[in-house]
Amino acid sequence: MKVEFFGVRGSMASAGSNTYIFGGNTSCVYIEQNNGKDLILDSGTGIVELGTRLLETQSPINILLTHNHWDHIQGFPFFKPIYQPNRDITIAVGNVDDKKSQDAI
């Protein structure tokens, strides 16, 4: 198993020299599992870079959105694999404050 953090910021992305070490992207964690069932936790702005990398493969994509706060979903429209017509993508979402996360997206 390999875990990569593509975004660790909260609330909003922050670019600049003071974010160089830990990055300036919002929440996105990629868990690469040995069984081929990789998992993406949240789709903050960090998912943009991850999406570019995943274009090189055709493996299924599994995304778990922990909740629908903006910093956890704001990168989703820029995640390039969702625009590949034959790409196998599963998205699991929950409800927060009686609002459906799928409606927020």
Per-residue pLDDT of 33-44, as tens digits, reads 988 889 999 999
Give the distance from CA 78 to its chain's centroid: 10
pLDDT at 61: 95
Per-residue pLDDT tens digits for 61-88: 999 998 888 888 999 999 999 999 999 9
The range of the structural domain enclosing residue 6 comes to: 2-104
pLDDT for position 88: 94
Domain count, the chain: 1
Please tell me the distance from the alpha carbon of residue 87 to that of residue 75, in angstroms, as a whole number.
18
Please give the pLDDT value at position 102: 61
pLDDT (0 to 100) of residue 38:
92
Residue 45 clears pLDDT 80, i.e. is over it: yes
Q: What is the 3-state secondary structure (H, E, C) of the chain?
A: CEEEEEECECCCCCCCHHHCCCCCCECEEEEECCCCCCEEECCCCHHHHHHHHHCCCCCCEEEEECCCCHHHHCCHHHCHHHHCCCCCEEEEECEECCEEHHHHC
Average pLDDT across the chain, whole number = 86
